[in-house]
Amino acid sequence: MINPSVAIIGGGPAGLLAAQHLAEAGVPGVAVFEAQATAGRKFLVAGHGGFNLTNGEPVADFGPRYAERQREFEQYLAAFGPTELRAWAAALGISTYVGSSGRVFPTEEHKPAQLLRAWLRRLAELGVSLHTRHRWLGFDGAAGLRLRDERSGQEFILQPRATLLALGGASWAKTGSDGRWAAVLTTEAGVPVVPFQPGNCGVEVGWSAFFREKVGRTPLKNVALRCGESTARGEIMLTDYGLEGTPVYALTPAIRQALAAGGPAPLLLNLKPDVAAAELLMRLQQPRRGRSLPEVLRQQLRLGPPVPTLLREAAPAEALHDPARLAALLQALPLPVSGLRPLDEAISTAGGVPFEEVDKHLMLRRRPGTFVAGEMLDWEAPTGGYLLQGCFSTGAWAARGIAQWLQTQRPA
């Protein structure tokens, strides 16, 4: 029967990296337990959309990406940051490059599944055992764990010297990250869990039936969005339910906060972020000479479809004939956001284990010997490689804490 010295629950990036670091540090008997039939399912899902492993910006600029958790993440990143992450991939035979947006990707010839396969091979060579279809059910006494072998339905108890919980967030449940661990942690260990909320997700706008039918899914390139004090630039996608795209995702925390205050979140769309307001007004003040609004927008401002339809949808009709009001709207068109898309669709999850519940080694204060890493901790970051980097960095940091813990627990 399995009798690991360290049990790692969850075979996502955080758990697998911790397993690798522990095995490389010479810790024997490291075992990973994963509820799904294969490890790294969400890691592979991340691979479908471009597989953005980390970011090429200077590591000094990384900290603020983790918002209120900047201080903690600066520490984790100093130990295992983007340079170490790229070196790790290279050691597995996967070269990476920095794209024009600063995002770091594996080179063209390397597919995500290839990286995962090479990684699992490396873990096996290091002696890490991987037990798929093994679900963690909860705790047993001070250090024990209850697990179920999903193939036989048999339940059993482990008594590892240390445990790492790396159970992920609560989106894309079909990958295994179903957030069911939160109730167990609260009822069995008394750990309060900050309620899950969608992070990096699309938003809902109550478009008219006419707009939904006419516009469907249409990109708007090179725009800026503002919600309160937060701004983001890039390409957004108009969809039949609202908006998607990197700038929308980046504003999720601000939109969530605005929605929590009641009423629609005031999202402002700037369709011409690179043109000064005075210049925009000057161009719109040119005599129309019988031209229609779409012709004026296209000829004076190079704004083609779907902008005229969007303006008719979101702006008062009379404002479209007044150059001053039109100029102002083109740079701050209010899009009333009525809600965030459902949690299960989100790229990441806000909420989870509060940092107040873990010590500086990421060990649960209420359960010595049990550590936590990855998305299940309560932190948020935008897309752009900061999510996986955060999971890898916390996984590496927890592994370090576990190795130290094992030293202190040595029998005299």
Ligand X SMILES: Cc1cc2nc3c(=O)[nH]c(=O)nc-3n(C[C@H](O)[C@H](O)[C@H](O)COP(=O)(O)OP(=O)(O)OC[C@H]3O[C@@H](n4cnc5c(N)ncnc54)[C@H](O)[C@@H]3O)c2cc1C
Which residues form the interface with ligand X (CB under 6 A)?
Answer: 9-15, 33-36, 41-43, 45-46, 49-52, 135-136, 166-168, 171-172, 176-177, 181, 347-348, 374-375, 385, 387-388, 391
- Written as one string, the DSSP assignment of 119-187 is HHHHHHHTT-EEEETEEEEEEETTTEEEEEETTT--EEEE--SEEEE----SS-GGGT---THHHHHHH
**In this structure, what token pair is assigned to residue 328?**
């102002």
Least distance to ligand X, CB of residue 335, Å: 24
CA distances in angstroms from 407 to 144, 356, 401, listed in the order given: 19, 24, 10
The nearer residue to ligand X, 65 or 226, going by C-beta atoms, is 65
Rg (CA), the chain: 25
Please answer whether residues 271 and 331 qualify as being in contact, where contact means their C-beta atoms are separated by less than 8 angstroms.
yes
Q: Which residue lies nearer to ligand X by CB, 40 or 308?
A: 40
Closest distance to ligand X from the beta carbon of 111 (Å): 14
CA distance 8 to 11: 8
Which whole-number Å values give the CA distances from 201 to 242, 252, 299, 343, 377, in the listed order? 11, 7, 35, 8, 18
Q: Which is nearer to ligand X, 148 or 212 (CB)?
A: 148
Min dist CB 83 to ligand X, Å, is: 16
Residues 6+ apart with CB under 8 A from 275: 301
Nearest alpha carbon to residue 73 among 84, 59, 86, 83: 59
Closer residue to ligand X (CB): 168 or 202 = 168
- Asked whether 145 and 157 are in contact (CB, 8 A), the reply is yes
In angstroms, the CA 181 to CA 183 distance is 6
Q: Which C-beta is closer to ligand X: that of 234 or that of 273?
A: 234
Between 111 and 288, CB nearer to ligand X: 111
CB of 53 to ligand X, least distance (A): 7
Cβ distance to ligand X smaller for residue 167 or 205 = 167
In whole angstroms, how close is the CB of 89 to ligand X at the nearest point? 13
Choose between 176 and 242: whose C-beta lies nearer to ligand X.
Answer: 176
CA–CA dist 113, 41 (Å, integer): 10
Give the residue with the Cβ less far from ligand X, 244 or 313: 244
In angstroms, give the least distance from the CB of 92 to ligand X.
Answer: 17
Nearest distance, CB of residue 184 and ligand X, angstroms:
8
**DSSP result, 345-373:** G-SEEEEEB-GGGB-TTSBBTTSTTEEE-
CB of 199 to ligand X, least distance (A): 9
d(CA 340, CA 90): 38
**Residue whose entry in the numeric block shows the structure tokens 């995962």:** 116
Minimum distance from CB of 34 to ligand X (Å)?
5
